[in-house]
Structure 1
Amino acid sequence: MKGFSMYIGGISIKNKIFISNILIIVVFISTQSYFANTISQKAIIEKEINNSSRELVLIQNNLQTLVSTIEDYSKILASDYRLQNELYNDLLLNTKHEDSKPVGGLNNLSMKKTLSETISNIVEPNTKIKAVSILTSNHHWVDVGFADNAYASRIFGDGYGPEDRYYLPVWTSLIKFGFLYEGEDSVFAVSKTVIHKDTGKMIGRIFLYVKETTIASIYEEGENKGGDFYIVDSAGRIISSQNKAKLYRDFKEAVSISLPETGKDTTFTQGSGSEEMLIFTHRFEPLKWTIVSAIPMKNISSGRKEINQLILGVGAACLLLALIVSFLLSRSITRHIFQLAKTMRQIRSGQMQVRSPYQSKDEIGYLSEGFNNLMDRMEALMAENVEKQRTKAEIEFKLLQSQVKPHFLYNTVETIISLIKLGLGKQAIQAAQYMANFYKISLSKGDDIIPIGEEMRLTESYLEIQQLRYVEYMEYTMEIDHDIMSYSIPKLTLQPIVENAIYHGLKLKKEKGIIRISGRRNGNQLEIEIYDNGAGMHKNQIKAIMDGTSVPDEINGFGIRSVSNRIRMLYGERYGLQVESEYGVYTKIIVVLPLRYH
């Protein structure tokens, strides 16, 4: 979580606003698209359920009309007086000769003609009935045209069964039946017992044949979204289908759909993924048939493609518009913040005069105005502080000079007097010359910046005088590169450091010590090193002197700190003094200066 917070914190405000807007819009569009897709899918499925239910009702009504029509034709034919007369005469004729071989009266041409004329009115092309067969009371099949009597005899037999006692038409399941000129075909047979209207005797039975394609044409004319229709009998066999290869097969095995056993109209789904099907069942009670409609869900959902394309198109357009608006909005908000941040970076790099140019009445404008006012105030305070520091440094330097000169003058005069008393006139003259040289250079016509060569002569004069006084415990060397002599240095930079090395380094050591002064150029800066092998200092002493946290009771600490502050004030923080010391061993102070000619 911390890493994520750090990652978020590293993103710019512009990108945060842009990403936040995009995330909100994407979530909104995705949610809206999801619900729109879900609602549209639900609406399409409900619409398809309603359409399919109405279509099944229409198929049932058309099937009921067809069944009723076929049964009506069977009743009309069974009650036709010409058919009844022929069948009754055949019954009487064969009754008179019952002790002999039955007479095939219906085989004569006149009777065939009469029956053909009777039947021709109720078969194709006048009706949906393909052909008609007649079984007489004497168990003869009458050949009256298209129906193959051999098939009829083989399928229905030559006798009468229990169903012949019913006077209503009886439908068979789907059967294979042969026709004289067309061969076999799948048909439904509708049988009707012929009862003589005067005597009430059963004088025969008629069979009307309806092709399966006639039944199938009822639902093939409808719009079923690429699905399949089936009619299943009470035994679960397919008796009508658009795919004729599935006829006569068990419905569950052929289609892999399990029908509920409730016997009621149902709607359900089966399968999953691309195999999911929407199943409708409608019960046709007159014949105990079940009408089944199976529609693949992918076909139903095909209508959603246009809706989804529309949703995707609108979503893409909205997202593109949102991207543009979010970019422009985030840019308009953050552009001025970036300008203000750029101004801050310039100020941080040292360009203190730079100000934010943005002016407005909005929040960023107030922030920009406040920032400019703050920087103006800060610049004024910094200028005031610099002036105070310069004044302080000058006061410290003047104080240092005022302390060094009388003190040094007094000691030097005492040394000269002592040399004269000892009869060392030559040494006394040298001391006086060194003193004169020291004060000549230290005055330097009021200049605070002098060449390094002058500073070295001033320091050498000071060391020569001090060596006359402390010859028993000090000596010195000076190794300054000739190339740096013309570069500038603040006056009296080295003298306070050398004085500190004598009084607080060498004098505290019991044996004779050395002060070594060396100077060189190092890249783009000068380095002057003052080394002594005196008493050394602890780290806390060095820190106290450089930070000014201690209150020095002598001139040494004040002088070193004053020199360091003066150099930093003149040239910047990268210049000044570097102090290195080991207690009881040595002290080394490096003066770092810029390359500037006097």
Structure 2
Amino acid sequence: MKGLTKYVSGISIHNKIFIANLLIIVFFISSQSIFTNNISQKAIIEKAVNDSSRELVLIRNNLQTLLSTIEDYSKILASDYRLQNVLYNDLLLNNDSYAHKPVAGLSNLSMNKILSETISNIVEPNTKIKAVSILTANRQWVDVGFADNEYASRLFGDGDERADRFYLPVWTGLIRFKFRYEGEDNVFAVSKTVVHKDTGKTIGRVFLYVKEDVITSIYEEGKNHKGGQFYILDAEGSIISAKNKDLLYRKFDEAFSIAIPDFGQKDVSFTQTSGSKRMLVSTQRFTPLQWTIVSTIPIDEITLERKKINQLIIGIGAVCLLLALIVSFLLSRSITRPIFRLAKTMREIRTGKMQVRSAYQSRDEIGYLSDGFNNLMDRIEALMAENTEKQKTKAEIEFKLLQSQIKPHFFYNTVETIISLIKLNMGREAITAAQYMAEFYKVSLSNGNDIISIKDEMRLTASYLEIQQLRYVEYMAYTMEIDDEIMTYSIPKLTLQPLVENAIYHGLKMKSEKGFVRIGGRRVGEDVHIEIFDNGVGMREDQIQAMMTKERSGFGFRSVADRIRMLYGERYGPKVESEYDAFTKITIVLPLRRL
């Protein structure tokens, strides 16, 4: 919440007004669009559900008509007097004593002709029945038409004994059946027991074959939505009729990943995802055969009309939004333009243009704010100039104090070193030390100049190091590698000596073995980099942070850093790198300036 408040507070008033109006309009249009969309979608889906239910009822009624027609044909055929005479004669000729003998009656061409004529009246093209098979009371299949009776014998065996008890037509599920001239096809078989009218004896059984395409034709011309499909499922949920024949015999829920709730119990309508599509699924029970008629319609197809409504809403919303943007922009601009001009002035001042002032003049509230801001900036500029002068004076005082500390201290230590060398009968070394001391003071005085050449600063530093090396020969060695290119450029006097002294006293002297100090200098672009490297005890991260903090850093380091930044700016000055118990490297960055 704090982050959001911080972000909002950083937005200009102009944008706040503009965004507020924009959000109000967008919220209103979006709410209206969502509400309208939901209402229209609900109404369209309800309409689709009702239409689908009507279509399913129509299919169920047509299916019932087909069922009744086929069963009526089976009854007509089973009660045909010619068929009954042939089957009854066969029963008499093939009694139990001769059950395993060839059926002489059926082998007779005249009898075969009678059966063919009888059956031909109820098969294609007169009806929707593809073929008929006859099973005699003696369990022999009669070959009198298109049906492959050997295939029927293997498929049905001796018939369904249970059906004989009811004498009603019995439907099989979807099966693969072979026809004599057309090969195998998907069919439904309807069987009916043939009972002799006079004797009441069971004299045979007729099988009528209805192709699955006949069932499909009932709904293939339906008014289902584009992309919608109808399916018929058996009691186990397997697909027994579909336009796509590859789906036959497959479980519906496995084929489409759609589980029908209360399957086989009642009619339902619901939506569910199948693959990448959202589908409207409706079911209708066909009770006589325990079948379920299923309708699937993609939601996208159902809501196609809603898309046109949405396009209209979006168009109107876009026009309203555009008008709102224009009005909001003009209104916020007229209110915030003076504030924006004042803010622009503030941004220019923030970039360093301290002399810039607000030019807006008016007697309104923004005018009073502009005058107050100008007065405030005048006062701030005066205070900054005063503070800069104070800082400059402070830095000069600190530099003089540093010089006053270095010179007597260095002079005293050097004289002590010379006296020690004389006592040790090392006159040559004592003379050398005196010469280096003279060189050090000659350069450090430099006619009162605070800015000297890098060459002179290196002479001063070399004199200091030579004297220190005489005193601490067991602790240190040094090297100086300065590019000749930078020797003529300028550097504040006594920049290196305090840092070299720190390297010796706080780096090398704390080490158990002899170390070295390496001083290097080179040009890097438009800057000069001078490095002071020692392999002393180094510093930990907290020590480096302490030295980089003004309040806790050493006087020499702080004085060097402040002087350089006061003279050249914040991007210049010393930078510290160190690894504990390994090394310390201080890189001094200076601008490329000549004396």
TM-score (norm 2): 0.53
Percent identity reads: 71
Task: Mark the runs of 5 or more structure 1 residues left unpaired by the alignment.
Answer: 342-348, 357-366, 372-598
TM-superposed CA distance for 1:273, in Å, is 8.4
* 1:45 and 2:45 are equivalent in the alignment: yes
Letter in 2 for 1:78: A
* Cα separation, partners in 2 of 1:335 and 1:235, compared to 1, 3 Å: closer
The answer as to whether partners of 1:97 and 1:103 remain within 8 angstroms in 2 is no
Distance 2:7 2:255 in 1: 61
Distance 1:250 1:80 in 2: 40
Partner of 1:239: 240
TM-superposed CA distance for 1:121, in Å, is 2.0
TM-superposed CA distance for 1:310, in Å, is 2.4
Partner of 2:228: 227
Distance 1:305 1:194 in 2: 60
* CA deviation string 1:536-560 (max 9, x = no partner): xxxxxxxxxxxxxxxxxxxxxxxxx
Q: Secondary structure of the equivalent of 1:162? A: helix
Distance 2:7 2:94 in 1: 110
Larger Rg: 1
Partner of 1:291: 293
Distance 2:86 2:297 in 1: 52
* Cα separation, partners in 2 of 1:224 and 1:111, compared to 1, 3 Å: farther
Aligned length: 355
Distance 2:107 2:284 in 1: 46
Q: Secondary structure of the equivalent of 2:312? A: helix
* Cα separation, partners in 2 of 1:334 and 1:254, compared to 1, 3 Å: closer
* CA deviation string 1:18-38 (max 9, x = no partner): 433222111111111111222
Tell me which of 296, 319, 322 is aligned to 1:320: 322
TM-superposed CA distance for 1:230, in Å, is 2.3
TM-superposed CA distance for 1:207, in Å, is 0.5
Distance 1:26 1:158 in 2: 76
The answer as to whether partners of 1:52 and 1:280 remain within 8 angstroms in 2 is yes
Partner of 2:181: 181
Partner of 2:110: 110
The answer as to whether partners of 2:164 and 2:193 remain within 8 angstroms in 1 is yes
* 1:171 and 2:171 are equivalent in the alignment: yes
TM-superposed CA distance for 1:305, in Å, is 2.8
User: Which moved further from structure 2: 185-194 or 91-100?
Assistant: 91-100
Task: Mark the runs of 5 or more structure 2 residues left unpaired by the alignment.
Answer: 344-356, 368-595
Distance 1:3 1:157 in 2: 82
TM-superposed CA distance for 1:56, in Å, is 1.4
Distance 1:100 1:24 in 2: 95
Within-5 A mapping of 1:273-312: 274-312=276-314
Distance 2:263 2:134 in 1: 38
The answer as to whether partners of 2:258 and 2:273 remain within 8 angstroms in 1 is no
Distance 1:27 1:144 in 2: 78
Distance 2:160 2:325 in 1: 86
* Cα separation, partners in 2 of 1:99 and 1:325, compared to 1, 3 Å: closer
* CA deviation string 1:434-462 (max 9, x = no partner): xxxxxxxxxxxxxxxxxxxxxxxxxxxxx
Distance 1:160 1:7 in 2: 83
Partner of 1:268: 270
TM-superposed CA distance for 1:251, in Å, is 3.2
Within-5 A mapping of 1:150-549: 150-158=150-158, 161-222=161-222, 223-259=224-260, 260-261=262-263, 263-271=265-273, 274-328=276-330
* CA deviation string 1:168-226 (max 9, x = no partner): 10000111111011000010000001111122121211100011111122222222442
User: Which moved further from structure 2: 213-222 or 245-254?
Assistant: 245-254
The answer as to whether partners of 1:133 and 1:206 remain within 8 angstroms in 2 is yes
Letter in 1 for 2:257: S
The answer as to whether partners of 1:17 and 1:330 remain within 8 angstroms in 2 is yes
Distance 2:34 2:156 in 1: 61
TM-superposed CA distance for 1:143, in Å, is 1.4
Within-5 A mapping of 1:57-136: 57-95=57-95, 98=98, 101-136=101-136
The answer as to whether partners of 1:26 and 1:319 remain within 8 angstroms in 2 is yes
Distance 1:100 1:150 in 2: 17
Q: Secondary structure of the equivalent of 1:24? A: helix
Distance 1:276 1:50 in 2: 18
User: Which moved further from structure 2: 43-52 or 13-22?
Assistant: 13-22
Partner of 2:35: 35
TM-superposed CA distance for 1:144, in Å, is 1.6
Distance 2:334 2:232 in 1: 70
Letter in 1 for 2:114: T
* CA deviation string 1:325-378 (max 9, x = no partner): 434555677789999x9xxxxxxx9999x989xxxxxxxxxx89xx9xxxxxxx
Distance 1:53 1:75 in 2: 32
Distance 1:13 1:100 in 2: 108
Letter in 1 for 2:26: V
The answer as to whether partners of 1:124 and 1:130 remain within 8 angstroms in 2 is yes
Letter in 2 for 1:293: S
User: Which moved further from structure 2: 217-226 or 31-40?
Assistant: 217-226
RMSD between aligned alpha carbons?
3.7
TM-superposed CA distance for 1:317, in Å, is 1.9
User: Which moved further from structure 2: 209-218 or 136-145?
Assistant: 136-145
Letter in 2 for 1:22: L
Distance 1:170 1:286 in 2: 11
The answer as to whether partners of 1:274 and 1:297 remain within 8 angstroms in 2 is no
* Cα separation, partners in 2 of 1:139 and 1:96, compared to 1, 3 Å: closer
Distance 1:128 1:183 in 2: 18
Q: Secondary structure of the equivalent of 2:193? A: strand
* CA deviation string 1:279-332 (max 9, x = no partner): 222211100112222333344344433333222222212212322343455567
Q: Secondary structure of the equivalent of 1:263? A: coil
Letter in 2 for 1:234: A
TM-superposed CA distance for 1:162, in Å, is 2.3
Letter in 2 for 1:216: T
Distance 1:250 1:115 in 2: 40
* Cα separation, partners in 2 of 1:242 and 1:93, compared to 1, 3 Å: same
TM-superposed CA distance for 1:104, in Å, is 2.8
* Cα separation, partners in 2 of 1:290 and 1:3, compared to 1, 3 Å: closer
The answer as to whether partners of 1:133 and 1:207 remain within 8 angstroms in 2 is yes
Distance 1:162 1:274 in 2: 46
* Cα separation, partners in 2 of 1:282 and 1:36, compared to 1, 3 Å: same
Distance 2:207 2:44 in 1: 46
* Cα separation, partners in 2 of 1:225 and 1:99, compared to 1, 3 Å: closer
Letter in 1 for 2:313: I
The answer as to whether partners of 1:280 and 1:294 remain within 8 angstroms in 2 is yes
* CA deviation string 1:521-571 (max 9, x = no partner): xxxxxxxxxxxxxxxxxxxxxxxxxxxxxxxxxxxxxxxxxxxxxxxxxxx
TM-superposed CA distance for 1:6, in Å, is 8.6
Q: Secondary structure of the equivalent of 1:56? A: helix
* CA deviation string 1:371-423 (max 9, x = no partner): 9xxxxxxxxxxxxxxxxxxxxxxxxxxxxxxxxxxxxxxxxxxxxxxxxxxxx
The answer as to whether partners of 2:77 and 2:119 remain within 8 angstroms in 1 is yes
The answer as to whether partners of 2:269 and 2:283 remain within 8 angstroms in 1 is yes
Distance 1:173 1:99 in 2: 32
* Cα separation, partners in 2 of 1:16 and 1:99, compared to 1, 3 Å: closer
Letter in 2 for 1:166: F
